[in-house]
Amino acid sequence: MEKLHLHQDKWRDIVFGSVVLFVVIIDQLTKALIRANLALGEVSFDAGIFRIIHIQNTGAAFGIFKDHSLTLIITSIIGIVVILILVFLLRSRWHFLESMWVRVGMALVMGGTIGNNLIDRIRQGYVTDFIDFKIWPAWNVADASITIGVIIIAYRLIFYSGTLKSKV
């Protein structure tokens, strides 16, 4: 039984790392494509309420903390360290962290944080956004990843944390 538990932990760790890497790669590729093919402010596709536009964001979500890249980088590093502690050190203490869904949610948040807040801000001092629904601030793959990850984690916490019997 102990051997099976170790195998499941390794599998969850592989899934975690793979999701983080996938998000970072897709996020960075899409942003590189936008920067290479669109001038700042240029629109490549416009369907009324939705458009693809090249935007540089020096702030965080909804434009808060504009021009505070160092603060956002430090916050991101702290967030990544907290996620790693939760996923690898505290998972045996808080059993809901052993759930594959929670692990995927954490990986989505971490991948988005690395892609958006660390790589972009360290390399460029800003984040490239390009998905714009016009009624909401523009965003990118990393933003979507973070949002989806938080929704998955919240859902699992709200509906399964007290009754979680299976670790899947």
Question: In the annotation, is 143 catalytic?
Answer: yes
Q: 137: helix, coil or strand?
A: coil
Angle between helices 100-112 and 2-37 (to 10 degrees): 30
- Which of 27, 120, 129, 132 is catalytic? The answer is 129
Measured distance CA(77)–CA(117) in Å, rounded:
9
Q: Give Cα separations from 42 to 28, 51, 53, 131 (angstroms).
A: 19, 10, 6, 12
Give the residue from 147, 148, 131, 150 showing the smallest Cα distance to 139: 131
Q: 85: helix, coil or strand?
A: helix
Measured distance CA(54)–CA(67) in Å, rounded:
18
Q: How many CB atoms lie within 10 A of CB 15?
A: 14
Active-site residues, by number, are 129, 143
